[in-house]
């Protein structure tokens, strides 16, 4: 005799439809008391989408000191995703280094702008990429690094923000350089301005804003070979895959319409960066 556990996979049914089959066979819709609520169900129940935001990472995130209001293209994305889920956004301030822990500890539901490194993928789920971000260096013009190997020397002091993808990139690509690992992106930039470091590593989305805000920091360099990182939306690992499936569907829909690119370019303009500021060999 076929049980509901046997027939559901045969019919290709998911957990919820499988439950419906079970009810048809007279089974009780009991739910284990210790079964955690999935992210999709939690967002739909609370009508809140909690997302992490990082101060000083324009155009990803920007916090107005006077009003406390947030902007940036990740904020635009989060607001639209929440609207699609018939919910509101709830912003939780964090750092790139703490964002993964905030997801794991259920402080937030999503983190926009994460790179899906293998280490992170051990403990998190990721959406499909919404952007490919190019790694760059900012430093004094005398460096004039045309190749990454030009910076991979012990006498070159390279600043990064601790725990970020800039940090892991520098450790992997520039192992011979002297690493200056600091708490925040602003600290890494200040290290170059104060002469404690020769250059700072940033992905191009951040580097464009850094140079625009601090033109005396030096020149924006895009060394060869061109190295990019996929940029995704991070989520908790959830046995119920509805939330990840919804996010991917929402993302692909908006990418196909050009909406995602519009969010990015609009927020670049808000921080004074125009299309002419983007290096010729970089595509957003």
Report pTM: 0.73
173 shares its domain with 197: yes
Q: How far apart are CA 163 and CA 142, in angstroms?
A: 28
Total count of domains within the chain: 2
If one counts every other C-beta atom within 10 angstroms of the C-beta of residue 104, the result is 13
194 shares its domain with 71: no
120 shares its domain with 53: yes
55 shares its domain with 165: no
Query: Is 71 among the domain residues?
Result: yes
Answer with the one of 228, 245, 266 that is the final residue of a domain: 228
Angle at alpha carbon of residue 49, lines to 208 and 84, rounded to 5°: 85
243 shares its domain with 122: yes
- CATH number of residue 90's parent domain: 3.40.190.10
How does pLDDT run along the chain (284 residues), one tens digit per residue? 444 344 333 333 333 333 333 333 333 443 433 357 999 999 999 999 999 999 888 899 999 999 999 999 999 999 999 999 999 999 999 988 899 999 999 999 999 999 898 989 999 999 999 999 999 999 988 898 999 999 999 999 999 999 888 999 999 999 999 999 999 888 999 999 999 999 999 999 989 999 998 888 999 999 999 999 999 999 999 999 999 999 999 999 999 999 999 999 899 988 899 878 888 888 77
102 shares its domain with 64: yes
50 shares its domain with 171: no
Query: Is 284 among the domain residues?
Result: no
Nearest to 170 by CA among 187, 188, 186: 188
- Domain region containing 58: 39-131+229-277
């Amino acid at each position: 005799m076929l049980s509901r556990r046997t027939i559901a996979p045969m019919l290709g049914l998911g957990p919820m439809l499988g439950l419906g089959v079970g009810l048809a066979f007279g089974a009780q819709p009991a739910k284990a008391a210790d079964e955690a609520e999935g992210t999709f169900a939690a967002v739909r129940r609370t009508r809140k989408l909690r997302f992490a935001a990082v101060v000083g990472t324009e155009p990803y995130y920007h916090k107005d000191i006077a009003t406390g209001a947030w902007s940036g293209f990740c904020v635009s994305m989060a607001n639209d995703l929440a609207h699609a889920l018939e919910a509101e956004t709830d912003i939780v301030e964090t750092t790139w280094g703490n964002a993964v822990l905030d997801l794991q500890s259920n402080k937030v539901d999503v983190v926009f702008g994460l790179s899906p490194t293998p280490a992170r993928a051990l403990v998190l789920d990721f959406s499909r990429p919404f952007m490919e971000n190019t790694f760059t260096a900012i430093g004094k013009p005398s460096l004039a690094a045309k190749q990454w190997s030009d910076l991979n020397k012990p006498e070159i002091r390279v600043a990064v923000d601790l725990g970020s993808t800039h940090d892991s990139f520098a450790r992997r690509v520039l192992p011979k350089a002297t690493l200056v690992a600091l708490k925040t992106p602003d600290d890494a930039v200040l290290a170059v301005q104060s002469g404690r470091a020769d250059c700072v590593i940033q992905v191009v989305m951040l580097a464009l804003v850094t140079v625009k805000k601090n033109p005396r920091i030096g020149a924006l360099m895009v060394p060869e070979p061109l190295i990019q990182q996929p940029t995704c939306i991070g989520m908790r690992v959830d046995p119920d895959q509805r939330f990840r499936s919804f996010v991917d569907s929402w993302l692909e829909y908006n990418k196909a319409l050009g909406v995602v690119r519009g969010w990015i370019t609009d927020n670049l303009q808000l921080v004074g960066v125009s299309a002419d500021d983007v290096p010729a060999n970089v595509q957003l």
